[in-house]
């Protein structure tokens, strides 16, 4: 869509340039002979004005097509970024939940194994969970900084 709009704008700009260069500046009944695609015709000043108006309208349509295509692409890109950020946040929440359950399981097993060993296992599991959460949080922040650029 953007390419078609750009081609339309460039083509009409070239056509307007050719018409401008062929104009002698004489505003008589006949505007002169114009040859286009192998056909020759002699428009009046009024016809030249109407042709210019139509060319301007087509130029605006081309610009509209160009900018609407660019806007649509930008909206899609922003939606994809939002979806990626939501997925990363969900992954981080699931990792935290998993680590919490793993810590609780380790505490339960430690309680069953004995009080002395229980304390060491619980502390080791908590330290591992805290380290992993800190690492995941740092990764999430780095990903967030990269995705906002």
Q: With 0-12 CB in 10 A as exposed, 13-18 as middle and 19+ as buried, what is 121?
A: middle
What gap in Å lies between CA 138 and CA 65, rounded to an integer?
43
80's tokens: 């994809």
How many domains does the structure of the chain reveal? 1
- pLDDT tens track of the chain, all 149 residues? 677 878 888 888 888 777 766 765 545 566 677 787 888 888 877 677 778 888 988 998 988 888 888 888 888 999 999 999 999 999 999 988 998 888 888 877 777 766 666 677 777 788 888 888 788 777 777 776 766 65
What pLDDT is stored for residue 146 in this prediction?
Answer: 66
Task: Quote the pTM value.
Answer: 0.40
90 is in which domain, residue-wise? 2-148
What gap in Å lies between CA 141 and CA 135, rounded to an integer?
10
Tell me the angle at which helices 45-113 and 2-22 cross, rounded to the nearest 10 degrees.
160
What 8-state DSSP symbol labels residue 38? T
What pLDDT is stored for residue 26 in this prediction?
Answer: 47
53's tokens: 């108006």
């Amino acid at each position: 869509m953007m390419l078609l709009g750009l081609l339309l704008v460039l083509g009409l700009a070239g056509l307007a340039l050719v018409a401008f260069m062929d104009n002698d500046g004489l505003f008589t009944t006949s505007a002169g002979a114009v040859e286009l695609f192998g056909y020759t015709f002699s428009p009046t000043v009024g016809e030249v004005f109407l042709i210019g108006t139509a060319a301007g309208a087509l130029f605006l349509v081309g610009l509209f097509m160009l900018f609407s295509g660019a806007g649509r692409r930008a909206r899609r890109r922003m939606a994809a970024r939002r979806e990626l950020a939501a997925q990363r946040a969900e992954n981080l929440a699931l990792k935290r939940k998993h680590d919490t359950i793993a810590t609780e399981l380790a505490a339960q097993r430690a309680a069953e194994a004995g009080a002395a060993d229980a304390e060491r296992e619980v502390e080791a599991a908590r330290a591992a969970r805290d380290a992993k959460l800190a690492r995941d949080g740092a990764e999430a922040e780095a990903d967030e900084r990269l995705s906002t650029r």
